[in-house]
Amino acid sequence: MKSPAHRTRDIERQAGYLKPEHCAPPPPRNSSDTMWFIRDSCGIVCGIITWLLVFYAEFVVLFVMLLPAKNVAYSLFNGLIFGSLGFLALASHARAMCTDPGAVPKGNATKEFIESLQLKPGQVVYKCPKCCSIKPDRAHHCSVCKRCIKKMDHHCPWVNNCVGENNQKYFVLFTMYIALISLHALVLVALHFVFCFEEDWTKCSNFSPPATVILLILLCFEGLLFLIFTAVMFGTQVHSICTDETVSETSGYRNTGNVVTVDDESGFFMKMLLQQRHNVKG
Ligand SMILES: [Zn+2]
Ligand SMILES: [Zn+2]
């Protein structure tokens, strides 16, 4: 959970950030910018670890448990389910990672853009001092993505992306598939121990008994850890979708930033409020 200091660190108190030269329109996007990918070394390492953990589970289930099993129908049935869940988990992970979570155009807080909004006198819009964008309601700035994200839930290093308005469905599917694959792996390990306990282990696995036990214990540990983690995450996400409230909003966080208003008497001008606007929920 974010600390209060972390939650409000996108509040910029320096008036200089509202100078027009800071809000020059961004350069036009070229073709190499069209794919969304966050260049964060920690997130990239976590994303690679996620894929390696799924490949490890696929390897142990296939080569240690299912291929040596005598019952072909049992191996085929479970192999198909486990392989499909693994594929769906990785596909939803890739989509969650490479989908724009709902980034607000960078540097759109220009005078021309604000004028084009045709704000009524006294109407307030929020401007992010970090990426110089006009923040729509419920958008928050992510310091990793360096962008304001619409309906930002949280930044997830495991998918190396923010979870926001546009990619939340992929993130929810990813947590669901990982929870299911973890549960399936635990059931298969339990069945393997039950069926092979009485038999000679050399007939039950292509690996030596110590190697088999170590591989299965590691799979159990991985399955248990990720089952708990992703099941809790899945439940939290479904709850936030049902209540239409993001995790950051549940923590009492509301739209913040420098405020741009339209003056009642002298028409359009930017007004800088130099105090922190941290509206508490409710
Ligand atoms: Zn921002
Ligand atoms: Zn982010």
Report CA(39)–ligand 2 centroid distance (Å). 11
Reported confidence tier of residue 113, pLDDT bands at 50, 70, 90: confident
Task: Kindly tell me the burial class for residue 106, based on how many C-beta atoms sit within 10 Å of its own C-beta (0-12, 13-18, 19 or more).
Answer: middle
Residue 192 has pLDDT above 50, yes or no: yes
More confident call, 185 vs 267: 185
Residue 28: CB atoms within 10 Å:
6
What residues are neighbours of ligand 1 (ion), with CB under 5 Å?
128, 130-131, 141, 148
Ligand 1 geometric centre to CA of 148 (Å): 4
What is the mean predicted confidence (pLDDT) over 230-249?
90
Mean pLDDT check: name the lowest of 44-58, 69-83, 100-114. 100-114
Q: How far is the CA of 158 from the centre of ligand 1 (A)?
A: 22
Confidence of residue 129 (pLDDT cuts 50, 70, 90): confident
Q: Cα(148) to centroid of ligand 2, in Å?
A: 8
Residues forming the active site? 156
Taking residues 64-83, what's their average pLDDT? 93
0.85 surpassed by pTM: no
Find the mean pLDDT for residues 141-166: 94
Q: Which ligand is nearest to the CA of 102?
A: 2
